[in-house]
Amino acid sequence: MDLIDILWKQDIDLGVGREVFDYRQKQKEYELEKQKKLEKEHQEQLLKEQEKALYAHLQLDEETGEFIPVQHSPPIEAAVVAQSVTNSLQGKSDLGQELFFDECLEILADTFQFETPEMTFPTAMVPVSEMNTSQSFLTTEQHHLPDSLQNAATNTGNVQEMEQAWQELLSIPELQCLGNQIDSLVDLSLYPNSEAMMETPNYVFHDPLLNIEKPAEDTGPVFSNDFVDSFPANVPTVNTNSTFNVETFCDDIFSLIDPKATNVPLTDNSGQSFTGLLNESLDITDLSLCKAFNENSPTEFNDSDSGISINTSPCSTSPGQSMGSPIYEDAHYSYSDAEMEDMDSTTENVHQNPTEKFHVPFTDDTFYALSPFVPHDTSFDIETQNPTEKELPVRPGQSKSPFTKDKSISRQEARFSRDEQRVKALKVPFSVDKIVNLPVDDFTVLMSKHQFNEAQVALIRDIRRRGKNKVAAQNCRKRKMENIVELESDLDKLKYEKEQLLAEKGEYNSSLRLLKKQLGTLYMDVFSKLRDEDGKPYSPQEYSLQQTKDGNVFLVPKAKKIEIKKEQI
DNA sequence: ATTAGATGTCATTAT
DNA sequence: GCATAATGACATCTA
């Protein structure tokens, strides 16, 4: 240690921080880590207990591997149960306390066994609440629902009020994220049995599973207050001309459903009420791509103008991130990002034009099968189609936060999924990768095989151009970096060479000096031995020794030498 | 809030 | 003349 101190004092770089040698500091760090570890273990234990409580109310379906609520035998009137739920919840909220998780589970597990519309619909709607709601939200929701919502809940025939109710729901600050996504409101004409939709305001924005996975302290009292404060006064104007985008809504809702946490069956929306839908069984994997909505759905591209997007981060405030199922006007055949944003807002024009519907034999499966950038995994499909899954809470037993994964999604992947979305939106039957990487001839052949309209051709060419340019840019940068590295290497080489040459020069100089010295000594030695006719030595000021080319040496008077030089001039 | 680096895109030029 | 590659410049995103 003393040596190290001495070295430090002498400013000697050891290549490591001093703390490496500092025992006390290391000990401190160790204690801190220990403390953190203990906290972590404690949290994990809590989480496990919560999971345990959850699974106590769920039953494993051996066929599907899903957990479904346990069916209790003693039947109670749904209304009574609902009332009891309300009462118990109200009692809790009146006390200003948050519900304990187990109590919520018990209440909801008891509640779910009845197939009343009020009970089934919330199950389907639960994911919506996952985005922004909390336990506090549940309690406040029940006590502070605006009148219009209550009216909408009771007046089952009033479509206008239903729309208003949706608008107001979306006006809730805590639901703005949802509002950003669902930029169009429910067009009840899509639902022959609108009665089911009338249940929406009665929807209890509470998810017991959510509370397992998302501790209440995250969004607790503050959230509640915000909601209470903002709701009554904040009923902004919403575009009532907007229509509900079934596909987007489906993606938004169902991508948020944790397949393991619910057995809510959903199949098709067209011509069926939500209530009916919820009572039918459905393979949960269908929800991943929402095939039921993608296929033969007249509202497939029914994006509205307020930015709803299946590919939009729900809480994103950046317009640059807004995208989705863009349909472009015929007048625009360039699809720069900026234009995409503009065009997203003009999709209604396209929908009004029936000639814009293309029917290319193409399914999602083939689409994704063709794309090397989209793993053939349903879960990923959900993710690529709907980044709102980012908002999913951690599943029971799943330690990794979904946010960590989202961060790891590379920009390139995001870009490709964006183009994939565009390609899909225009029903182009091959993948972005194919469009970009196919050789010219193959690409031409491929293009000639299909009858594309101008919009499709423009999109394909744009994607190919950008894709090629992207690769070119990457290569260019790579080359540039390689050149820089090469030049740096050359520079180092030249520096080394210069040093070598300088060293050589020094050696030569010193040897030259030595030779000159020796020559001078020899010269003086020879000169001092020369004698004239009188036996006297010659004066070095008057005479000098000169050597001719043939090797002979002459004693030359310096004056004469000057004369000779003058003569030469 | 700032900033550097990475990346995508566009415009232009070269091949 | 066209398609493609190369590259500088700019915008945007991210750590």
Q: Of A54, A63, A58, give the one whose Cα is nearest residue A281.
A: A63
Q: What is the CA A50 to C1' B5 distance in angstroms?
A: 43
For A546, the 3-state DSSP assignment is: strand
Contact between the CB of A411 and strand B at under 7 Å: yes
Q: What is the CA A340 to C1' B2 distance in angstroms?
A: 30
Q: Which element (helix H / strand E) includes A382?
A: helix A378-385
Q: Indicate the burial class of A269 (C-beta count within 10 angstroms; 0-12, 13-18, 19 or more).
A: buried
For A344, the 3-state DSSP assignment is: helix
Nucleotides of C under 7 A from a protein CB: 3-9, 12-15
Q: Indicate the burial class of A216 (C-beta count within 10 angstroms; 0-12, 13-18, 19 or more).
A: middle
In this predicted structure, what is the pLDDT of residue A496?
96
Q: What is the CA A437 to C1' C8 distance in angstroms?
A: 25
Interatomic CA distance for residues A548 and A52, integer angstroms? 111
Nucleotide nearest to A477 (CA to C1'): C7
The answer to whether A139 and A89 are in contact (CB under 8 A) is yes
Nucleotide nearest to A337 (CA to C1'): B9
Q: Of A114, A49, A54, A58, give the one whose Cα is nearest residue A81.
A: A114
Scan for tokens 């709803």, then name that residue: A308
The answer to whether A241 and A182 are in contact (CB under 8 A) is no
Both tokens of A149, joined, read 């919502």
For A561, the 3-state DSSP assignment is: helix
Contacts of A275 (CB under 8 A, 6+ apart): A117, A120, A121, A193, A195, A196, A199
Contact between the CB of A473 and strand C at under 7 Å: yes
Nucleotide nearest to A412 (CA to C1'): B7
Q: What is the CA A468 to C1' B3 distance in angstroms?
A: 30
Q: What is the CA A393 to C1' C1 distance in angstroms?
A: 57
Nucleotides of B under 7 A from a protein CB: 7-11
List Cα–Cα distances, A50 to A68, A102, A214, in angstroms: 17, 8, 11
Q: What is the CA A13 to C1' C11 distance in angstroms?
A: 42
Contact between the CB of A342 and strand B at under 7 Å: no
Contact between the CB of A473 and strand B at under 7 Å: yes
Q: Of A403, A373, A371, A368, give the one whose Cα is nearest residue A388.
A: A403
Q: What is the CA A478 to C1' C4 distance in angstroms?
A: 19
In this predicted structure, what is the pLDDT of residue A532?
85
- Chain length of chain A: 569
Q: Of A194, A193, A192, give the one whose Cα is nearest residue A163.
A: A194
Contact between the CB of A412 and strand C at under 7 Å: no
Angle, nearest 10°, between helix axes A411-425 and A454-529? 150
Interatomic CA distance for residues A312 and A499, integer angstroms? 60
Backbone angles phi, psi at A70, to 5 degrees: -70, 135
Strand A67-69 and strand A58-60: pairing?
Answer: antiparallel
Interatomic CA distance for residues A116 and A563, integer angstroms? 132
Q: What is the CA A409 to C1' B7 distance in angstroms?
A: 14
Contact between the CB of A475 and strand B at under 7 Å: no
Contact between the CB of A336 and strand B at under 7 Å: yes
Q: What is the CA A477 to C1' C9 distance in angstroms?
A: 14
Interatomic CA distance for residues A153 and A121, integer angstroms? 13
Q: What is the CA A410 to C1' B3 distance in angstroms?
A: 21
Contact between the CB of A478 and strand B at under 7 Å: no
Contact between the CB of A471 and strand B at under 7 Å: no
Q: Which element (helix H / strand E) includes A68?
A: strand A67-69
The residue lying closest to nucleotide C7, measuring its CA against C1', is: A476
Both tokens of A277, joined, read 């839908």
Strand A58-60 and strand A543-547: pairing?
Answer: unpaired
CA A325 to chain CA mean position, Å:
18
Contact between the CB of A144 and strand B at under 7 Å: no
Q: Which element (helix H / strand E) includes A544?
A: strand A543-547
Contact between the CB of A317 and strand C at under 7 Å: no
Interatomic CA distance for residues A272 and A268, integer angstroms? 7
Contact between the CB of A474 and strand B at under 7 Å: yes
Q: What is the CA A406 to C1' C14 distance in angstroms?
A: 13
The residue type at A502: L
Q: What is the CA A317 to C1' B2 distance in angstroms?
A: 20
Q: Of A537, A504, A544, give the one whose Cα is nearest residue A520.
A: A544
In this predicted structure, what is the pLDDT of residue A509?
97
| Residues in a beta bridge with A58 | A69
Contact between the CB of A465 and strand B at under 7 Å: yes
Interatomic CA distance for residues A51 and A209, integer angstroms? 9
* Side-chain-facing half-sphere of A251: CA atoms under 13 Å: 32
Find the radius of gyration of the CA atoms of chain A.
Answer: 41
Q: What is the CA A439 to C1' C10 distance in angstroms?
A: 30
Interatomic CA distance for residues A346 and A340, integer angstroms? 10
Contacts of A508 (CB under 8 A, 6+ apart): none
Interatomic CA distance for residues A249 and A257, integer angstroms? 13
Per-residue pLDDT of chain A (569 residues; tens, 9 = 90+): 444 444 444 443 434 444 444 445 545 555 667 777 777 777 777 766 665 555 455 454 443 444 444 444 333 333 333 344 334 434 333 333 333 444 444 444 444 443 333 333 333 333 333 333 333 333 333 333 333 334 433 343 344 434 443 343 333 333 333 333 333 333 333 333 333 333 333 333 333 333 333 333 333 333 333 333 333 333 333 333 333 343 333 333 333 333 333 333 333 333 333 333 333 333 333 333 333 333 333 333 333 333 333 333 333 333 333 333 333 333 333 343 333 433 333 333 333 333 333 333 333 333 333 333 333 333 333 333 333 333 333 333 333 333 333 333 444 555 556 777 777 777 788 788 888 888 888 888 888 888 888 788 888 888 888 888 888 888 888 888 888 888 888 888 999 999 999 999 999 999 999 999 999 999 888 888 888 888 888 888 888 888 888 988 888 888 765 555 554 54
Interatomic CA distance for residues A79 and A116, integer angstroms? 9
